[in-house]
Amino acid sequence: MKKIPFLLLVFALMAMPLAAQDALELPADCGTVNLEYWNPFTGPDGPFMGDMVTAFNEANPNIQVVMTTQSEYYTQLSTAAASGTLPDVAIIHADQIATQVYRNVLRPMDDVIEAAGINSEDFPEAVWNAGHVNDSHYTIPLDIHPMTMFVNVDLLTAAGLEGAPATSEEFAAAAAALTAGDNNGFMVTSGFPIRQIFEMLLHQYGGSAFNEDGTEVTWNSEAGVMAAQWLLDAQVAYSQPNLEVDAELNAFKGGTVGMIWNGIWQTTNVTGEGVFFNGIATAVPQIGDQPAVWAGSHQLALPSQADEDACRDAAAGIFIKYLVDNSVTWSSAGQLPASTVVRESEAFAAVLPQADIAAGSAEYVFFPPSVPGITDAYGPLDEAISALLAGSATDIQAELDNAASRANQILEQNRATYGTGESEEESEG
């Protein structure tokens, strides 16, 4: 394969008319390029991604992508990084980006983004910024998977209510009306995803889990106390005490719970053919003063290479843009397209319930600061919120303060381990 200066590819691609940006082609000098693409999609979403790769290969005979789906994904990436055998393109979860940058698994892709005609304005700001570490951009958002509300419409109708609640007042009225006899209007457990629900309420009440640069915990604020108190009050009024993880999913599937909150990935489990009643998925309501939705995101990245190649980079940019532009196919696997253009398309409007969920969620999602090891700092908060919902702790402020103190120690340890998040390569040069 002939190597040519990357900037020549940039100018060649950018000189193309805007109408042609959806059909980018490799410059002729590149010949045929083979790409390795890794992802962690071992579940039912895997075949959808496989179909997208097949369609790309058929449409681009001079770029051929081989997809490998890995279990123990980040362990596999670390092993490949150590042996110099990383793939050309990889999926990275939003909360893992900074950590993988430090570990030298990822490299900046600003030039590739520009050459492929990918624009930051085509994505919600929060999901785009998740890929920004220090002064470089490392990933392109493929999707958003938000917290979602699941509703038993049969119970709602029997209670004389129409439509899923969208506000705090509507939610309280519906939950109260649905809590009757052996039925619970709303159910929460002491396990996953209770911390994520707490964090969502924290943001809705105007707080945040960390300060802006991720150097200090801020969840032990007035907003944090309000969020935890709301959960405890809802537990008493509509739910049952000290429930184990997944108890709400099982009870909802049994038809005795009106509403639950969980990830969009549960949609096929608790709606449609997954249940015997009319179960729907929709956006979570706004309980606090401002809209905010907890979410994760799969993002596309360029792993580090010992022999970076301009043609291979150009091919990777074309492949990534194809996946983003055609992510309506991926949405059928249960995700929301990160691309605003795709979400506003007629094709996506027909993908239900994803389109309904997106309308009230996509623009309000938030992500952790781009700090290496940030997920480690959530451990104490997980324990604190679980203890409060399990009833083994009762002093909200004391629990949040204790969790904050422990998490701040973890953040300090991470700074000693990871530094500022620069990759080893950047730090050396």
**Calpha distance 202→223 (Å, rounded):** 6
Looking at the structure, tell me whether residues 246 and 394 fall in a common domain.
yes
- Asked whether residue 191 is assigned to any structural domain, the reply reads yes
Residue among 135, 139, 190, 181 nearest 158 (CA): 181
When pLDDT is averaged across residues 332-350 and rounded to a whole number, the result is 97
How many separate domains does the chain show?
2
When pLDDT is averaged across residues 254-267 and rounded to a whole number, the result is 97
- Asked whether residue 203 is assigned to any structural domain, the reply reads yes
Looking at the structure, tell me whether residues 179 and 212 fall in a common domain.
yes
Looking at the structure, tell me whether residues 19 and 135 fall in a common domain.
yes
**Calpha distance 154→286 (Å, rounded):** 23
Looking at the structure, tell me whether residues 409 and 302 fall in a common domain.
no
What is residue 260's predicted lDDT score, i.e. its pLDDT?
98
- Asked whether residue 353 is assigned to any structural domain, the reply reads no
Looking at the structure, tell me whether residues 161 and 135 fall in a common domain.
no
Looking at the structure, tell me whether residues 185 and 305 fall in a common domain.
no
pLDDT in tens, 76-102: 999 999 999 999 999 999 999 999 999
Residue among 55, 92, 28, 117 nearest 311 (CA): 28
When pLDDT is averaged across residues 356-381 and rounded to a whole number, the result is 96
Looking at the structure, tell me whether residues 332 and 377 fall in a common domain.
no
Single pTM value for the model: 0.90
- Asked whether residue 356 is assigned to any structural domain, the reply reads no
pLDDT of 72 > 90? The answer is yes
Non-local (6+) Cβ contacts of 309 within 8 A are 1, 3
Looking at the structure, tell me whether residues 95 and 50 fall in a common domain.
yes
Q: What is the CATH number of the domain that holds 271?
A: 3.40.190.10
By the 8 A CB rule, do 245 and 193 touch? no
Looking at the structure, tell me whether residues 234 and 320 fall in a common domain.
no
Looking at the structure, tell me whether residues 160 and 236 fall in a common domain.
yes
Question: Whole domain around residue 268: which residue ranges?
Answer: 145-295+366-418
User: For the chain, what percent of residues have pLDDT higher than 90?
Assistant: 89
pLDDT in tens, 168-207: 999 999 999 999 999 999 999 999 999 999 999 999 999 9
Residue 262 has what DSSP assignment?
Answer: E
Q: pLDDT class for 63, splitting at 50, 70, 90?
A: very high
By the 8 A CB rule, do 264 and 55 touch? no
By the 8 A CB rule, do 328 and 351 touch? yes
Looking at the structure, tell me whether residues 389 and 241 fall in a common domain.
yes
User: For the chain, what percent of residues have pLDDT higher than 70?
Assistant: 92
What is residue 150's predicted lDDT score, i.e. its pLDDT?
98
Sign of CA dihedral 338, 342, 347, 353: positive
Looking at the structure, tell me whether residues 390 and 275 fall in a common domain.
yes
- Asked whether residue 114 is assigned to any structural domain, the reply reads yes
**Calpha distance 351→368 (Å, rounded):** 29
What is residue 23's predicted lDDT score, i.e. its pLDDT?
57
Residue among 95, 105, 40 nearest 72 (CA): 40
**Calpha distance 414→412 (Å, rounded):** 5
Q: What is the 3-state secondary structure (H, E, C) of 95-154?
A: HHHHHHHHCCCECCCHHHHHHCCCCHHHCCHHHHHCCEECCEECEEECEEEEEEEEEEHH
Geometric angle at alpha carbon 198, from 195 and 202, rounded to 5°:
135
